[in-house]
Amino acid sequence: MNTYQLFRRSRMRLALSYAGVMAVILSLAGFSMYRFLIQSNWAAIEREMESIAGTLHDSLKPMLPSSENPTAILQRILPELCVTKQPCNVSPTLIGRHTTGISDRNTYYIRLFDRQGQILAFSPSKISAELPQSLTTAPWQTFKSAKGIRYHQFTIVLHTHDLQHQHVGAAYSRNETLRERYNNLHNTQPAWGYLQIGRTLAAFDAQEQQLKLILAIGFPIALVSIAVSSWWLSKLAMQPIYQSYQQQQQFTADVAHELRSPLASLLATVEAILRLPPSQQQDIPIMLHPVERQGRRLSHLITDLLFLTNLEQNSFTKPFQPCCLNDVVSDLTEEFSELATAADIHLTSQMPKVDIYAMGDESQLYRLVSNSIANAIQYTPAGGAVNVSLTLTDRTASIAIADTGIGIASSEQTRIFERFYRVDSDRARKTGGTGLGLAIVQAIVQRHQGQITVKSELGSGSLFTIRLPVGTNAQK
Ligand code: ADP
């Protein structure tokens, strides 16, 4: 499997897992919300019916006739209800409606039954015709009419004032539920008859259907959006891994490339030495010089690589200490003066009167400045000048290394900090550069929370400025 396929498969797996988790969360949330809405609506419906039943029971109780033929009295106390076997021609007044507490006759109905379950009175609505005429005494019932409309009804036992002193409505207002009180009364007291409050569930069912529709449409849309966003998010997540993988690949290729030439030349020389006839044995020491040179170059390269890797992995455990930057600059200027003189370069330095201290690893700070000065000398032709200056501005120490050398084209200025990048590979190799000098410089600067900038013009010279934060007690 090639790298592209490997990353694509990982991305797919990541996106699928993310979408799967999100789909499960979304379905659970959607289902819970649906259940909650339905249940709370249902509970509200039952509460409302219980409350109407309680109120009605309380208003009817003192007025219920004890005689065998209650029709006349019922007509008087419930003018808004039709009484069985009587012409039903009611046009209820607002007061009448108020008596039963029901104003929506298309939704609710009321029915009164006698003790034997014979219907005595009913509310004059279109609904009444669709209802079963027989009485079922179970308190709560849900049924479907011939037209397919669902109804929910609540039946309570009616007790007259004479028969008992407890009443359902009063019980409802106390801690005991109406249902409990209903059961108590039903079991212990003789009944006058039954009161039935019911309502259509058309609105409730329509709302449930609407909710289902919203979920049925919304869920696939949400799933598609989740799938698209997880594909995009997985790309974002894989990007840094992919980049770092590519960098590793590039690094391995670069290292192999860097090692190949010196190793090839080294092997060629060793083979030549081995094939040397005994008569030419005296040439061996001279032939070993390039071997030594290449060996040193390799060792230098590997040391630099290890140092850079340790810097990048932050595996240096030595704690930071205040380091005198004046000492670093003056020591290194002095150290490089011999090399500069040999190359016919005028090396100078400017130092402030006060000592500037930065928190850091002293050996790394030496390496930082030494790499920069070495480059300045290396890339400045004979007769040129290199100046190193140290200044302090706003708690920031600046070390500027200016040269009058060959300069760097602006297109190359960002790339020179990459590992193994050289502007002119042949020239840099000849001068012994590994292409790691500025990468090490940048890694050290970053480890010390500093900054490095370069200003350069081809043919006119370069200015590298290293800025390091000065610690609280660093300026002494
Ligand atoms: P090298 O070991 O080749 O010097 P560096 O990482 O130190 O590698 O530098 C990378 C490249 O940046 C060099 O090959 C050189 O082309 C360019 N460079 C660095 N410093 C200077 C400078 N002061 N003047 C001109 N070019 C420079």
Same-domain check for residues 276 and 357: no
Which ligand 1 atom is at minimum distance from the Cα of 435? 8
**Measured CA distances, 139 to 5, 53, 143, 202 (Å):** 67, 11, 13, 21
Alpha carbons 44 and 104: distance in angstroms, whole number:
16
Residue to mutate, 408, 418, 425, 466, ligand 1, most ligand atoms under 8 Å from C-beta: 408
Nearest CA to ligand 1 atom 11: 422
Same-domain check for residues 334 and 305: no
pLDDT value of position 96: 46
pLDDT value of position 475: 43
Same-domain check for residues 364 and 454: yes
Place of tokens 């390039």: 290
Q: Is the residue at 348 inside a domain? A: yes
Residue to mutate, 254, 410, 422, ligand 1, most ligand atoms under 8 Å from C-beta: 422
Decide which of 311, 337, 356 is a domain's last residue.
311
Mapped onto helix, strand or coil, the DSSP state of residue 323 is: strand
Quick count: other Cβ atoms within 10 Å of Cβ 426? 8
The Å distance, Cα 423 to ligand 1 centre, comes to 7
Contact 244, 313 (CB under 8 A): no
Half-sphere exposure of 379 (CA within 13 A, CB side): 30
Mapped onto helix, strand or coil, the DSSP state of residue 207 is: helix
**Measured CA distances, 230 to 14, 23, 215, 226 (Å):** 8, 11, 21, 6
Q: Is the residue at 9 inside a domain? A: no
Contact 321, 359 (CB under 8 A): yes
Same-domain check for residues 335 and 268: no
Same-domain check for residues 268 and 398: no
Residue to mutate, 371, 372, 379, ligand 1, most ligand atoms under 8 Å from C-beta: 379
Count of domains for the chain: 3
Which ligand 1 atom is at minimum distance from the Cα of 437? 7
Q: What is the CATH number of the domain that holds 326?
A: 3.30.565.10
Q: Is the residue at 441 inside a domain? A: yes
Owning domain of residue 368: 320-469
Where do runs of H (alpha helix) occur along 275-324? 284-312
Alpha carbons 102 and 19: distance in angstroms, whole number:
50
pLDDT value of position 172: 44
CA dihedral (86, 91, 93, 97) positive or negative: positive
Q: Is the residue at 116 inside a domain? A: yes
Same-domain check for residues 362 and 426: yes
Decide which of 266, 288, 311 is a domain's last residue.
311
Contact 392, 470 (CB under 8 A): yes
List the chain pLDDT tens, one digit each, 476 residues: 677 888 999 999 999 999 999 999 999 999 999 999 999 999 999 999 998 888 888 877 777 766 555 666 666 666 667 777 666 665 554 444 444 555 566 788 888 888 888 888 887 777 777 787 788 878 899 988 888 889 999 998 887 655 444 444 344 444 455 555 555 555 555 677 888 888 999 999 999 999 999 999 999 999 999 999 999 999 999 999 999 888 888 888 988 988 888 889 889 999 999 888 888 888 888 888 888 988 988 998 999 999 998 988 888 888 899 999 999 999 999 999 999 999 999 999 999 999 999 999 999 999 999 999 999 999 999 999 999 999 999 889 999 999 999 999 999 998 999 988 888 766 556 666 778 999 999 999 999 999 999 999 999 999 999 999 997 544 44
Mapped onto helix, strand or coil, the DSSP state of residue 322 is: strand
Which ligand 1 atom is at minimum distance from the Cα of 421? 10
Same-domain check for residues 184 and 85: yes
Same-domain check for residues 302 and 327: no
As beta bridge partners, residue 199 has 108, 152
Alpha carbons 286 and 263: distance in angstroms, whole number:
18
Amino acid at 50: E
Q: Is the residue at 3 inside a domain? A: no
Contact 211, 201 (CB under 8 A): no
Of the candidates 1, 25, 28, the residue with the CA atom closest to the CA atom of residue 12: 1
Contact 163, 192 (CB under 8 A): yes
The verdict on the CB of residue 323 being under 6 Å from ligand 1 is: no
pLDDT value of position 385: 97
For the beta sheet containing 150-158, the strands, ordered from the edge strand earlier in sequence to the opposite edge, are 82-83, 119-122, 108-114, 193-200, 150-158, 140-144
Alpha carbons 385 and 340: distance in angstroms, whole number:
9
Q: Is the residue at 224 inside a domain? A: no
**287 exposure class (CB count in 10 Å sphere: 0-12, 13-18, 19+):** middle
pLDDT value of position 91: 56
Alpha carbons 431 and 429: distance in angstroms, whole number:
5
Alpha carbons 305 and 440: distance in angstroms, whole number:
9
Alpha carbons 197 and 121: distance in angstroms, whole number:
12
Same-domain check for residues 388 and 290: no
pLDDT value of position 468: 96
**Residue 372 is inside which H or E element, if any?**
helix 362-378
**Residue 440 is inside which H or E element, if any?**
helix 437-447
Same-domain check for residues 325 and 307: no
Q: Is the residue at 23 inside a domain? A: no
Which residues of 320-395 form beta strands (DSSP E)? 321-324, 346-350, 357-360, 385-393
Nearest CA to ligand 1 atom 4: 433
Q: Is the residue at 43 inside a domain? A: no
pLDDT value of position 209: 94
Decide which of 262, 293, 311 is a domain's last residue.
311
Same-domain check for residues 328 and 305: no
pLDDT value of position 396: 93
**Measured CA distances, 286 to 20, 99, 237 (Å):** 71, 125, 57
Same-domain check for residues 418 and 328: yes
Of the candidates 87, 91, 60, 58, the residue with the CA atom closest to the CA atom of residue 74: 60
The Å distance, Cα 419 to ligand 1 centre, comes to 11
- Say if pTM beats, i.e. exceeds, 0.85: no
